[in-house]
Amino acid sequence: MTSATPITDEDLVAYLDGALLPARREAVDAALAHDPAMREQLAALRIDVPAIRTAFDAHAATAPLDRLQRVLAEAPEPRRSRMPGSWLAIAASLVIGVALGQAPSYLFPREHAPDWRTAVADYQVLYTTATLASLHQSTAALNGNAAEVSASLGRPISFAVLASGGLDFKRAQILTFNGQPLAQYAYLDAAGAPIAFCATRTGEPDRPVQTTTLRGLTEAHWSRDGYGFMVIGGHNPDEIRKLADELQRSA
């Protein structure tokens, strides 16, 4: 059966890489022994693989290690531990709290950001005017871009709404957090400060707009229909609040 299957370039590559199964390898050996054209075909696929490895190993040594090591060193620890032990501790104290008729204080956190908002904030602090200033998409392209992202998010947020806040709407992109799509709509304000409007499915109950500070940035967030929303960035807390209020009414 193997002898009936024509030998392809892919077979020859696997032959050169020592990745063929023994039966197929024998078939290639047999063909090479009898067929000069096959030998030429093989010769045309031979390359200097060790040199590629050496060249790229030398290239890896030119990586900007100082900068990347600094990023690692300065990246914040996640705010909430994912260790199962902590959940057990929380569950246990919850039981005790309920048994004693007390409301545990952490059920009504003063300002405990869910992880997704902290992650967005960590990302947003890296944005600068130049990150977005060079993006010049046509209205039609932005419209399509926003529609694609909304479709991935599973909640329609119309372009008209996104573009109505008086800011320069630059880009929509889909990210992911804990396996859930996270939509990010990026803006520049009149002063050139980057602002992001983000949304993801959280399953949380509806909540009105609240304003806070995350990673040094003004942030406003709310929940509706099982989705969490946030607006973050800029230099003017009033602007963030105003944009959040507008989006909350229509998005």
Partner 1 sequence: MSDHAGVRNGLSELLPRLWRFCHVLTGDRSTADDLAQSACLRALERAGQFQPGTRLDQWVFRIAQSVWFNQRRAEKVRRGFGIVPAEEAGLATGAADAEANIYLAQVLSSVMGLPEAQRVTVLLVYVEGFSYQEAADMLDIPIGTVMSRLAAARGRLSCLRDGGRSAGVAKSA
Binding positions for partner 1, rule: CB under 8 A: 8-10, 12-14, 16-17, 19, 43-49, 51-65, 67-69, 71-72, 75, 77-78, 81-83, 119, 122-123, 126, 135, 137, 141, 145, 149, 171-178
219: β partners: 212, 232
Closest by CA to 206, choosing from 220, 227, 183, is 227
Nearer to partner 1, 16 or 38 (CB): 16
DSSP classification of residue 89: H
**What are the backbone angles phi and psi of residue 193, rounded to the nearest 5°?**
-85, 135
Minimum gap (Å) between residue 139 Cβ and partner 1: 14
Nearer to partner 1, 165 or 181 (CB): 181
Nearer to partner 1, 77 or 225 (CB): 77
Minimum gap (Å) between residue 64 Cβ and partner 1: 5
Closest by CA to 232, choosing from 191, 206, 196, 205, is 196
Cβ atoms 117, 219 nearer than 8 A:
yes
Nearer to partner 1, 145 or 239 (CB): 145
Minimum gap (Å) between residue 23 Cβ and partner 1: 17
Minimum gap (Å) between residue 98 Cβ and partner 1: 28
Nearer to partner 1, 1 or 75 (CB): 75
Minimum gap (Å) between residue 127 Cβ and partner 1: 11
Minimum gap (Å) between residue 166 Cβ and partner 1: 23
Angle between helix 9-16 and 22-34 (nearest 10): 110
Nearer to partner 1, 43 or 99 (CB): 43
